[in-house]
Amino acid sequence: MFFIIFDANMDVFYSIDLTIFYFFNHTISTGFLDKFFSIITNVNNWYIAYIILFGMLIFKGGRIGKIAAVGVILLIVVTDQTGYRLLKELFQRARPCNALSDVLTPLGCTGSFSFPSNHALNNFAAATFFSKLFPRYKWALYITASLVALSRVYLGLHYPSDIIAGAAIGMIFGYAFAMAVLKIDNVITAKQKKVKLPSSGGK
């Protein structure tokens, strides 16, 4: 009985997943959005932004900015490998462009697995990481991460559930790494205060 209910729920879930997928991949499909999301989704188009970001962290971000620069590199290495090497191999879900016959693929398809979306995982990890450390930029960070994630569905490369899972996992990692950076910064601050304390010995 349990397995029958579980299978029925999975069918409903997949039906919702497909409905949302086709909305982005078919219903709103236009030439302009093809170009827009093709640009947004390509990591090569973000290199200049990454260089500027690292420059700001190192030269304008103070001590916590320097720690964050190292932290975000480690974060993306961990999330990228977790998604690509571990989770994708574990679930082995075919991409919609490989599983469905009528998917629109402005950028073509790829043979790698679909679940979760590494684009969503990495970008939401970074967005959460920087939002925790630099809250004033959180809206820009999350809007950017959302556009990148949605581009994967629009381009026929991921189901909505792939990006939701990737975003959720990424946010957990991003929060954990941000807390680690704040902890390191607090430890350094505490040590510096100890060094600056006047000697208690009398003259």
Q: What is the enclosing helix (H) or strand (E) of 153?
A: helix 138-154
Q: How far is Cα 82 from Cα 153, in angstroms, rounded to an integer?
A: 21
Name 85's Cβ contacts closer than 8 Å, sequence gap at least 6. Answer: none
Among the listed residues 88, 93, 152, 158, the single catalytic one is 158
Helices and strands in the chain, H and E counts: 9, 0
Q: Is 71 exposed, middle or buried (CB count within 10 Å of its CB: 0-12, 13-18, 19+)?
A: buried
Active-site annotation holds for 158: yes
Q: Is 26 a catalytic residue?
A: no
Catalytic pick from 88, 119, 132, 152? 119
Residues catalogued as catalytic: 119, 158
